[in-house]
Structure 1
Amino acid sequence: MDPHLSLELLALLFSAAVLAGFVDTLAGGGGLITLPVLLLAQVPPVHALATNKLQGSFGTLTASFAMLRRRLVQWHEIRGLFAVVFVGAALGAVAVQFVHAGALDVAIPLVLTLIGVYFLLAPQAGEIERRPRMGLPLYRNLMLPLIGAYDGFFGPGTGSFFALAGVALRGQPLVAATARAKLLNFASNIASLGVFALGGKVLWFVGGVMVAGQIFGAWLGSHMMVRGGARLIRPLIVSMCMIMIARYAWQKGLFATLFAGI
């Protein structure tokens, strides 16, 4: 064990992973909880991202098994989509080693805002299955690999992106879209994790502690998703999108700039 990691800090990492696994299963955005705690533990940023992928992979794996077991999604319906997301995420994780992330400074808060506003202003979205707005070939061969690449490259909100794409573009009910999002997010997580592991960036002991928390939190979240349905998922997606936007703005110093001008 790293001597800088006390039992208290390990307990904090475990607790953060439990909460993140619960939230991530229902709405996405669990990385907003675990990444800051890893950085608080003085884990270097790249290692924090890599270790976060390790624990996140087990959370999405647990949620995926729950979705398959409860027949909220069928493997034969998702396996082709799983494969294209995996490839997209692997390419994104490789690209982040060479591409400057500054290009995402405008795109990320804009997309998160659109997701939150969509679910806030369209309360009936995802209540029932509707006619798809995008054909399956374009959705499978373009949209899903792009979301997978985004997860490999950066990551926040990926689960929400998958759920939104299912509802808005394929007309899926919100619970079904969220269930599919768990398997697709698992594909992007393990692809990214593989790239980071090959680069020796994963802290396995710290990640193992958080894996235990993620599994427990994801198990709780999967049960709540079945019981609460869209009534529980929708406000969580909106809330997590708004929190992600606020944290992103804080990280970039936008609030300080705003208040300095007042």
Structure 2
Amino acid sequence: MLDPLVLLALMAVGMLAGFVDAIAGGGGMITVPALLSAGLPPVAALATNKMQSMVGTGMAVLTYWRRGFVALRDLIPAIALTFAGSALGAFTVSRVDVSLLNVAVPIALIAIALYFLFAPRLSDADKAARLPFRLFVPLMGFAIGFYDGIFGPGTGAFFTVGFVVLFGLGVTRATGSTKALNFTSNLAALVIFIPGGHVVWPVAIVMAIGQIIGAYIGARTGIRYGVKIIRPLVVVVSIAMALKLLFFP
């Protein structure tokens, strides 16, 4: 049984991660090291992180949706294929060599950071889509969901840049839609983790409480300030994830 002070500290960690994740993704960079430091075995840390993160992401989705920044009906096919892709990725992770991703993903994250840093036309206004939304968003959901099931870091950044670059969504709408698909990929992983008994429920519950608070504040902040806060946070979080993967795998 963990010390109550440790649980309280993990709740605060969940709150901070929920705030960051609701705006720019990357909350797992904060929560997974904290869970490992608290003494959880690696698999339990990953499973517990998925559980508490899903709760926070759900709160973020609800907040963006209630403010009109997520069209859930349009995302239903993408949600279904993201779930399928993530479940397939989690099922096959032990059967494929993911070592190449340790180099490829940081490069992709740095590219995303540079795009958000230097792209002159980023805004909250929707633009013309380069690809048909209804046909290609589900395919993007399946591909990135599969990646999330196998590896994971940067999933939110990949979804966000896809919605902005390929489908013309404004940055805040892209962030809200990203949260919906992130929630789905987390749920798919939990379908495997929960029956295996890997989730440490007391930790997941207290961190989920922190996540709800942090995600709500984060989503409201993202909605209020839009691209002005989402853009710099995506840059910072993407670079931080890339450096962590390169130097602290």
Fold match by TM threshold 0.5: yes
| Mapped contact 2:82–2:138 kept (Cα < 8 A) | no
1:104 to 70, 85, 101: 101
| Mapped contact 2:124–2:226 kept (Cα < 8 A) | no
Deviations 1:204-238 (Å, cap 9, x if unpaired)? 11111111111110011111011111111000000
TM-superposed CA distance for 1:138, in Å, is: 5.3
* Equivalent residue number for residue 259 of structure 1: none
Deviations 1:9-56 (Å, cap 9, x if unpaired)? 112211110000000000000000000000101211111111100001
Q: Bigger CA drift: 139-148 or 205-214?
A: 139-148
* Equivalent residue number for residue 188 of structure 2: 191
* Equivalent residue number for residue 260 of structure 1: none
User: 3-state SS of the aligned residue for 1:9?
Assistant: helix
* Equivalent residue number for residue 258 of structure 1: none
1:21 and 1:118 map into 2 onto residues whose CA distance is: 24
User: 3-state SS of the aligned residue for 1:123?
Assistant: coil
Matched length: 249
1:60 to 57, 61, 73: 57
What amino acid sits opposite 1:183 in the alignment? Answer: A
What amino acid sits opposite 1:57 in the alignment? Answer: M
TM-superposed CA distance for 1:100, in Å, is: 3.5
Q: TM-score, normalised by structure 1?
A: 0.90
User: 3-state SS of the aligned residue for 1:139?
Assistant: helix
- Please tell me whether Structure 1 or Structure 2 has the larger radius of gyration of its CA atoms: 1
1:121 to 118, 123, 142: 118
Q: TM-score, normalised by structure 2?
A: 0.95
User: 3-state SS of the aligned residue for 2:130?
Assistant: coil
RMSD: 1.4
| Mapped contact 2:77–2:138 kept (Cα < 8 A) | no
Pairing of 1:21-36 with structure 2 (within 5 A):
21-36=18-33
* Equivalent residue number for residue 169 of structure 1: 166
1:60 and 1:129 map into 2 onto residues whose CA distance is: 23
5+ long unaligned stretches in structure 1: 253-262
TM-superposed CA distance for 1:101, in Å, is: 2.9
1:30 and 1:145 map into 2 onto residues whose CA distance is: 22
What amino acid sits opposite 2:229 in the alignment? Answer: L
2:32 and 2:94 map into 1 onto residues whose CA distance is: 19
Percentage of matched positions with identical amino acids: 43
1:126 and 1:84 map into 2 onto residues whose CA distance is: 28
Q: Bigger CA drift: 127-136 or 77-86?
A: 127-136
What amino acid sits opposite 1:132 in the alignment? Answer: A
| Mapped contact 1:126–1:172 kept (Cα < 8 A) | no
| Mapped contact 2:86–2:146 kept (Cα < 8 A) | yes
Deviations 1:41-88 (Å, cap 9, x if unpaired)? 121111111110000100111011112211212221111111111111
